[in-house]
Amino acid sequence: MYNAVANGLAEAFNKTLCNLLKKVVSNSKRDWNDCMEEALWAYRTTHRTPTQATPYSLVYVVKAVLPLERQIPSLRLGIQEGITDEENARLRLAELEALDEKRLEAQQSLKWKFTSKWDGPYVVREAYSSGDYKLVDADGMRTALSMASF
């Protein structure tokens, strides 16, 4: 549990983070810790195929406001800034209610990644001179053929 090497998701994230840091650090590579915030922001606001969402949107339900949108106001920000406190509270409540649904959708999108890709265990029922084996599952119901020349 505490061994990062044994945790595939942690390893995948570490690899992605290292690749992001390689893109933003200078040639000396000694300023990697200064670029960490920028790299994490890039990761959090990038659409992920397995979840069909950005990590930021899974936490906060809304799309992240990019720094560029603050400098060049977007329609989204204009609409958000022009609403009353009551409307804002109502919208935030609706977003919070949608949060559980969005997280559930992301979890279901990830579910296929963790399904077993293997059947078994099997027991060898017969061994043939060709090197092939007749296998049956533990309760003797299903049979499979294992071929030595694959």
- 109-127 per-position pLDDT tens digit: 877 766 666 777 788 888 8
Give the pLDDT score at 150. 46
Name which residue leads in pLDDT, 81 or 11.
11
Name which residue leads in pLDDT, 59 or 88.
59
Q: 10 Å Cβ neighbour count for 103?
A: 15
- The pLDDT tens digits of the residues spanning 29-84 come to 777 888 888 889 889 998 888 888 999 999 988 888 777 666 655 556 666 677 77
Give the pLDDT score at 124. 85
pLDDT category at 2 given cuts 50, 70, 90 is low
CA distances from 136 to 70, 117, 132 (A): 64, 18, 13
Give the pLDDT score at 74. 52
pLDDT at 1 over 70: no
Residue 2 pairs in a beta bridge with: none
- The pLDDT tens digits of the residues spanning 16-44 come to 898 888 888 877 777 788 888 888 988 99
pLDDT at 148 over 80: no
Q: In angstroms, rounded to a whole number, what is the distance separating the alpha carbons of residues 9 and 57?
A: 19
Q: In angstroms, rounded to a whole number, what is the distance separating the alpha carbons of residues 108 and 51?
A: 8
Q: What pTM did the predictor assign?
A: 0.47
